[in-house]
Homo-oligomer: A and B are copies of this chain.
Amino acid sequence: MTKPSTPPAAPHLPHEDFPPIAAEAIRLITTYLRDIESRPVLGPVHPGDLLNDLPRHPPSTGAADTPSRDLWSALYADLENLILPRMTHWQHPAFFGFFPANASYPAILGEILAAGLATPAFLWVTNPAATELEIRTVDWLAHALDLPPEWSISSGVGGGVIHTTASEATLTALVTARHRARARAMARPGWNPASWHPTLYTSSQAHSSVIKAAMVAGLAHDPDDRTHIRLIEVNDALALDPVALTSAITADLEAARTPIFIAATVGTTSSGAIDPLPEIARIARVHAPDAWVHIDASHHGVAAICPEFRPILTGLEECDSLCVNPHKWLLTNFDCDVFYVRDRRPLINAMSITPAYLRNAASDSGQVIDYRDWQIPLGRRFRALKLWCVFRHYGVEGLRCHIRTGVHLAQIIEQRIHDDPDFELVAPRSLNLVCFRLAPRPGESSPSADARNKRLAEAANASGKLYITPTILPGPPRFVLRIAIGGPATEERHIHDAWQTIRDLAHHAEG
């Protein structure tokens, strides 16, 4: 071999140049968040608007030809001029769509630190500190949520892990459920894989991620495939009906099928309905002891840090897993879904795989947690840092104030709707979530009422003054407007303004 010639170095940004350029980024996001009210929540944007403003081909050279300060000034200008005007501003105080996607400066600081330390933590040995900080912070959250001691790594056989999303948590729970149920079935006399027919249950109001998890796991060919999935009816409060659940499970058992998974929801997407956990757990215990009961509390579960809202999780102690999303309503930037299990052993049994290049002395000792065995991907970011920053900055009491403020603001708009004869509440307010609509006129047909409400929703979002997500509620199907509150910037005046806008638009549309 001959000595190879040295190629030119890449134009890395020198250490000393980073702080001033980063200070500009900090200034940019601070200004953005401070002045966000001056923007429409979502302005008029057409498909392709940004695409048409971006070069079709990547730049050939960058900092090798252009001084870094100039290069980054141009980039920030493009961000301001091309990107920000085409964004949906989830941090806007009048963003009431989907769910609150809380960001906070403490969590942003956690993201900055995580980006700088830049360390994967899929095995304990790949970053002991990241693993142990995650153990501690998710145990802190378990404590704040008043979970039973066995749901913590430090004090029990269960514990928590930070996932990307509730979708990942649900899929992980389903895969764990199937693995455990199948292992038990395999251990019984007469096991026949060809005749094993697993079934899963969730309410008709559950999030689409349950069916998507079944599609990924091979238990549904498409969203309408009901070979393995049972969508259980809901009661008047739009919560899962335990009688219907029992019937469905009983029918499957009579047909020699095996119930493996029940996904309960604490706070459905459309209306915030809370499934009856104690009854669901009892049904599972009595009729389907091999079934895993997972609680999707992704949006509302974090409210349980307030003692007065803790009852939403009553019955959890007999369930198998839970997910809550600090990245929704607990001031922690996306992604931060915390997935808890009562017993971590079935989870690890279902998810573990160890080739030679992942073996190491610490893992072999059994003394450490390797979080890759708690999730679907191998790699993972240092996400515990931001949750740690949030706990340190706010404290549990500060976080409770945030939840209570969201509920308080929802109570205000609930009252305004209640007091207004043109509108009606369509479902009971659930914490921070209010579903309502223009009340049908005497004798008005359902399609006509739906059309009026749809026009109102479109007009509201087109106004740029607020953003809401409409949905359809069952029994009978109704097109409804839905306001989800909980952004850290939202104050009482934003609620009053939003209500005034909705009323004005309603009068205009009606006129």
Contact = CB atoms under 8 A, between A and B. Distances in A.
Nearest to A327: B379
Nearest to A50: B132
A64 B65 CA distance: 49
A117 B411 CA distance: 28
A60 B418 contact: no
A456 to B, nearest CB: 15
A79 interface: yes
Interface string A23-67: 101111110111000000010010111110010111111111100
Given A86-B132, A171-B376, 16 more contacts: A13-B106, A15-B30, A22-B105, A26-B112, A29-B116, A50-B132, A58-B144, A61-B397, A63-B395, A64-B398, A68-B393, A91-B119, A103-B115, A175-B216, A212-B376, A327-B379
A118 B136 contact: no
B154 A117 contact: no
Number of copies: 2
A221 B181 CA distance: 11
Nearest to A393: B62
Interface string A408-444: 1001101100110000000000000000000000000
A135 B482 CA distance: 30
Interface residues of A, number: 178
B401 A269 contact: no
Given A33-B15, A105-B13, A112-B29, A143 B57 contact: yes
Given A6-B408, A59-B391, A356-B471, A126 B112 contact: no
A7 B491 CA distance: 12
Contacts of A143: 57-58
Task: Report which residue of A106, A135, A327 has the largest number of chain B beta carbons within 10 angstroms of its beta carbon.
Answer: A106
Interface string A214-244: 0111110111000000000000000000000
Contact of A12 (B6, B361, B488): B488
Contacts of A216: 171, 175, 216-217, 376
A22 B112 contact: yes
Given A112-B112, A381-B335, A401 B29 contact: no
Contact of A377 (B28, B139, B164, B396): B164
A29 B118 CA distance: 10
B415 A154 contact: no
27 contacts: A1-B414, A7-B405, A8-B404, A10-B402, A11-B398, A15-B34, A19-B27, A22-B105, A32-B116, A45-B128, A47-B128, A57-B140, A62-B392, A72-B109, A87-B127, A87-B130, A88-B128, A97-B126, A98-B126, A108-B115, A111-B111, A111-B112, A164-B379, A212-B351, A215-B353, A270-B356, A376-B376
A445 interface: no
A47 B50 CA distance: 49
A251 interface: no
A253 interface: no
Given A7-B401, A216-B376, A208 B112 contact: no
Contacts of A211: 353
Nearest to A482: B357
Contact of A395 (B17, B64, B101): B64
Given A29-B116, A405-B7, A133 B54 contact: yes
Interface string A233-274: 000000000000000000000000000000000000110000
B119 A101 contact: yes
A218 B215 contact: no
A328 B125 CA distance: 18
B50 A87 contact: no
A192 interface: no
A165 B335 CA distance: 14
A75 interface: yes
A128 B87 contact: yes
Nearest to A167: B377
B63 A393 contact: yes
A129 B143 CA distance: 39
Given A356-B471, A357-B269, A334 B379 contact: yes
A64 B54 CA distance: 45
A377 B22 contact: no
A378 B101 CA distance: 13
